[in-house]
Homo-oligomer: A and B are copies of this chain.
Amino acid sequence: MAPRKGNLMSVRTDVKVVDATIRDGGLCNNFEFTDEFVTELYKANIKSGVDYMEFGYRASKKMFDPKKFGKWKFCDEADIRSIVGDNVSDMKIAVMADVGRCDFKEDFIPKSESVIDLVRVACYIHQIPAAVEMVEHFHRLGYETSCNIMAASQANSDQIEAALEMLGQSSVDVIYLVDSYGSFYPENAGTLAKKYLEYGEKYGKAIGFHAHNNQNLAFANTIETMSYGVSYLDATASAMGRGAGNCAMELLLGFLKNPKYNLFPLLSFIENYMLPLKASGVVWGYDIQYMLTGQLNRHPKEAMAFTADKRSDYSEFYTSLLENF
């Protein structure tokens, strides 16, 4: 077994905490956050020592009607600047671009003119060639890049090795292991992370992990993969994110030993902004319907529909999942 990197008492200076609240949380409220919310989160993240803040997607306005979504689905340069100005802080700014859902050749200006630091390219395993094309484009524009391979729990080992080899040979800076369905246990998340780290070490790439909390394991899986050397760690305030949500930033910052991280500003943000958001009716977080799709290693879409319908007949839902396996 690969050795752990550091221990429960040590500081891991290679760790980068990435706040994905607006991006993954935006999937819960159609990206309709107020400017005050985003501004206060930005300020709280800076005070808490967060390393990157992801503002949302840069989705194609040809494919998605801007009138039907909040602005953080598109992350116009001007909209980000209206929050961060020139971002005179140590925290970096990220956006996500999905393979097949963005106009990457038209919609990104050179890094030298942009306040964005990192472009995260999200793809499924069969889209790696398209992801590499995007990575190279963003790299040429001067951005840091990551490739976030989603739904890794449904990819087979050969596919993953081939993808890691292709990304290893690309210009990408960070390769992400993404547990889209929240179906990993710490033991298999750790095993897979070690595989990613093997390629990361070979090719000089950092490895990241993005969790979902379907089985209440988002935080556990995050710190397990971290213990072997994963260094880019996604988290969100109050674990806000699609379906069962993500790794809670408050759990992660409370765990990390680096004194640069500070829980207090985040707690203030949560009580002043996350609690009212939840009280307003935006729904996310661990519940049994998400546990079931996680246990069965499948997309949470049926659980999301169950939630939207305010159902609680878990046993009937379980039967329906087993009937449609």
Contact = CB atoms under 8 A, between A and B. Distances in A.
Interface of A: 1, 4, 7-8, 185-188, 213, 215-221, 223-224, 227, 248, 250-251, 254-255, 263-264, 267-268, 270-271, 275, 288, 291-292, 295, 312-315, 318-319
Contacts of A288: 250, 267, 270
A312 B238 CA distance: 13
27 contacts: A8-B187, A185-B223, A186-B220, A187-B227, A215-B254, A215-B255, A216-B216, A216-B219, A216-B220, A216-B248, A219-B220, A220-B220, A220-B221, A251-B291, A254-B292, A254-B295, A255-B295, A264-B319, A267-B288, A267-B314, A267-B315, A267-B318, A268-B314, A268-B315, A270-B288, A270-B314, A271-B312
A4 B185 CA distance: 14
Given A8-B187, A288-B267, A219 B217 contact: yes
Given A220-B216, A254-B295, A318 B264 contact: yes
A255 B185 CA distance: 9
A271 B315 contact: yes
Contacts of A255: 185, 215, 295
Contacts of A291: 250-251, 254
Contacts of A264: 315, 318-319
A126 to B, nearest CB: 25
A227 B224 CA distance: 14
Nearest to A314: B267
A215 B267 contact: no
A175 to B, nearest CB: 24
Given A250-B288, A268-B314, 8 more contacts: A8-B188, A185-B223, A186-B220, A186-B224, A216-B248, A219-B220, A220-B221, A271-B314
A188 B9 CA distance: 11
Which of A1, A217, A268 gathers most chain B CB within 10 Å? A217
Contacts of A4: 187
Contacts of A227: 187
A300 to B, nearest CB: 15
B8 A185 contact: yes
Nearest to A4: B187
Contact of A215 (B7, B251, B275, B319): B251
B275 A312 contact: yes
A314 B1 CA distance: 40
Nearest to A7: B187
A219 B224 contact: no
Contacts of A292: 254
